Amino acid sequence: MTEYLTIHDLMVVARRVVRGELAVRDTGILAAAVARPRTSVFGEDAYPGVWEKAAALMESLGRGHPLIDGNKRLAWTATWFFLGLNDKPLRTPLDEDAAEPFVHDVVQGHLDLPRIAARLADFA
């Protein structure tokens, strides 16, 4: 069974990764991002696997910009927290030279959801 994040979880993550004071720009975007991985259509999961669910979360947080500052850090960290909850932990050491441009590509809309999911799996 898939474990999902809550808005409270996202706020805990955000407080840890944002430098300085945490300022939420839009709580509706946070709520939508946390709900997106759970989405179902006609009783079927819109995002069938954990990698697709993680990709949906990352894309929603990164592209939606729910915070004033720290959206990329929140998207990356919340995604790995979600994956860790679902037995897909981050491989260490992290290849930061690959991770940073990947996150930028997600935020800028250069990758579709299947490619985001595949790239996330490469980091595990």
CATH for 7-122 is 1.20.120.1870
How high does pLDDT run on average in the chain? Answer: 96
pLDDT of residue 93: 84
Q: What is the 3-state secondary structure (H, E, C) of 56-119?
A: HHHHHHHHHCCECCCHHHHHHHHHHHHHHHCCCCCCCCCCHHHHHHHHHHHHCCCCCHHHHHHH
pLDDT of residue 91: 86
Stated pTM of the model: 0.95
pLDDT of residue 53: 99
DSSP state of 24: B
Other beta carbons within 10 angstroms of residue 64's beta carbon come to 19
The kind and range of the H/E element at 40 are strand 40-41
Angle subtended at Cα 95 by Cα 36 and Cα 86, rounded to the nearest 5 degrees: 35
Choice between 18 and 53, residue whose per-residue pLDDT is larger: 53
